Amino acid sequence: MDLKQIKQIIDLMKRSELTEFAVEEEGFKLKIRRGATGLPIVTTNPGSNPPFAYADPAPASTPAAATPTTPAPAADEAGVTYVKSPMVGTFYRAASPESKPFADVGTKVVENSVVCIIEAMKIMNEIQAETKGAVVEVLVENGQPVEYGQKLFKIKQ
């Protein structure tokens, strides 16, 4: 699936009342759904094509794909894994200011547990733990800008 096809899907979602769209093609999965704010949330499966970004001149919504994190174990701490940011953006611990955080210290997570959201180009990208364990430390403050590869959570297996 190329960028032009994805743009057409997003344009269709803008024009209609579609709230969710999913497609699977040759090992590539794409899921687009409207978040609580009405902005699209785009996720892809692990091992899919690399993330891309599309700049739409319309300020209402601009899609970007998120690839779930691939944590790397720390060499100095056995059994500890870090969830790292797959993109540059703004880190949010919850879906909205009134919502409880996705993950806090002591929260048990599994591979597909959503631990935070990173906003990039007005798109809310759900970030998954990609590992089993318990959150030991949250390394980023809510609303803080994050860089690609920055450690977000420390998880003990």
CATH number at residue 86: 2.40.50.100
Q: In the sheet where 133-138 sits, what is the strand order?
A: 80-84, 151-156, 133-138, 108-109
Is residue 6 in a domain? Answer: no
Is residue 150 in a domain? Answer: yes
Is residue 104 in a domain? Answer: yes
Strand partners, 124: 119
Q: Do residues 106 and 95 make contact, with C-beta atoms less than 8 angstroms apart?
A: no
Q: Does the pLDDT at position 4 exceed 50?
A: yes
The parent domain of residue 149 ranges over 80-156
Q: What percent of the chain has pLDDT over 90?
A: 32
**Any idea what DSSP says for residue 64?**
B
Is residue 127 in a domain? Answer: yes
Is residue 112 in a domain? Answer: yes
Residue 7: predicted pLDDT: 74
Is residue 30 in a domain? Answer: no
Residue 8 to residue 35: CA distance in whole angstroms:
19
Q: Do residues 105 and 135 make contact, with C-beta atoms less than 8 angstroms apart?
A: yes
C-alpha dist (Å) from residue 124 to 42, 65, 137? 7, 10, 23
Strand partners, 33: 20, 41
Average of per-residue pLDDT values in the chain: 75
Is residue 35 in a domain? Answer: no
Is residue 22 in a domain? Answer: no
Sorted by sequence, the CB contacts under 8 Å of residue 156 that are 6+ apart come out as 79, 80, 81, 133, 134, 136
- Two tokens at 12? 């269709």
Tell me the per-residue pLDDT of 101-119, one tens digit each, with 9 for 90 and over: 999 999 999 998 999 999 9
Q: Residue range 68-91: average pLDDT?
A: 73
